[in-house]
Structure 1
Amino acid sequence: PIIIIIGIVVGFIAIHYSNQIFMGSLSGNSIPSFEGMTTMIVLVTLVLCIPIIILGLYLFPAVILVCEDNSKGVIQCIKESFKLMKGNVWSLFVLYLSFLGWVILCIVPGVVVAIIAVFSFNEMLITILPLIIGISFLWLTPYMNTTFLNFFNEISGYNNKPIYNEINPLN
């Protein structure tokens, strides 16, 4: 719903500027630049995306909480998520940023193959491009998910609880 609201706001801004450009061209006045419209749309989108990113960081543990205990309701898990993330939002944001280099490193082989494919007009390279990018993310995605689950365990206090029962050695 929030993304729909952002789309509506950006759409209205684009329609407003488009009408100004169209009416200006009909009346013979100078046409306002598209650069101004594009700049305005980008700025509004960025301003509206910041609260959504922050909300997404606050809601990060909600899915894990729902999966962990089926008896809890969704609203209760969202409330617990806000409690868990209070004071930890910046840590999670930095954790996400720490993977930025890895993501770029995973995309680089695909970009190189794409450049080679464009200049050599090789259809086979274009066909296997998603496979090349996908293979690199095959190792990164589990690593990222494990790191995020460990972050959740740390903020929720599950590190202090034993995960496995003690195994008694056979006599």
Structure 2
Amino acid sequence: MNTKQYKKMALEQLKGKWTTVVLAFLLYNLVSNIFRISFDLESNIIIRYASSILYGIMTVGMSYYCLRITKGQNFQIKDIFAGFKQFLPAMILNILVGLGISLGYVLLIIPGVIFNLMISQVYFILAENEGMGAIQCIKESISIMKGNKMNYFVLMLSFIGWIVLAAFTFGIGYLVLYPYMNLTYANYYNSIKENSRHSIAT
């Protein structure tokens, strides 16, 4: 599959669901950023880390929500809180991802980008593998991203124009763009995961 196909699938999956999905993303962003809204993160390191951990947990939930939509399964807005069922692995995963990406960028920008691409699927992996450890999620992401990093990079770049345009709508455009982007990424994950399984089987 190519970039256009992933995007087309996402738009088809959103038909008749836009209102519900947009509301889910609004709630996700509100909860994920509640500490940023309520506190000065720069002056309180504990609140800053708590905010980061909450963001990771909510991202697992949103990944779970998006995967259910792409698989044609029943979904509800409350699914975005699914990450709390895996509080500990989600917390550890978020810490490890943050440390890994930071270290990569400290060394050089390119290694940071490459490592970011290698572990880009960790939240989807944890979302559909309850009980899997954080380290195993990272290993699994690295494994399925072998030979797929450039394709994923191109897929992300394909949204740059839309991101710029959305910025001129005072943020309103992001209400439509973020669901579109995240379902596209979920479709990509489903595809490379299946391809990886076929490769192992053969």
TM-score after normalising by structure 1: 0.52
Bigger Rg over Cα: 1
Q: Report the equivalent of 1:53.
A: 113
Q: Displaced runs of 4+ in structure 1, greater than 4 A?
A: 2-7
Q: Report the equivalent of 1:64.
A: 124
Shift of 1:99: 0.3
**Separation in structure 1 between the aligned mates of residue 119 and residue 103 of structure 2, nearest angstrom:** 19
Aligned length: 98
2:130 partner SS: coil
Shift of 1:53: 1.3
Structure 1: any 5+ residue segments left out of the alignment?
A: 10-46, 110-131, 161-171
Structure 2: any 5+ residue segments left out of the alignment?
A: 1-98, 198-202
**Separation in structure 1 between the aligned mates of residue 135 and residue 164 of structure 2, nearest angstrom:** 36
Change (3 A) 1:88 1:139: same
Worse-superposed segment, 144-153 or 59-68: 59-68
TM-score after normalising by structure 2: 0.44
Q: Report the equivalent of 2:177.
A: 140
Shift of 1:6: 7.7
Higher normalized contact order (CA 8 Å, seq sep 6+, divided by chain length): 2
Which whole-Å deviations, capped at 9, do the CAs of 1:117-168 have from their partners, x for residues lacking one?
xxxxxxxxxxxxxxx22x110000000000000000000018x9xxxxxxxx
Conserved in 1, the CA contact under 8 Å of 2:104 and 2:115?
no
Change (3 A) 1:5 1:79: closer
**Separation in structure 2 between the aligned mates of residue 76 and residue 154 of structure 1, nearest angstrom:** 20
2:132 partner SS: coil
**Separation in structure 2 between the aligned mates of residue 3 and residue 60 of structure 1, nearest angstrom:** 11
1:157 partner SS: helix
Partner AA of 2:127 in structure 1: C
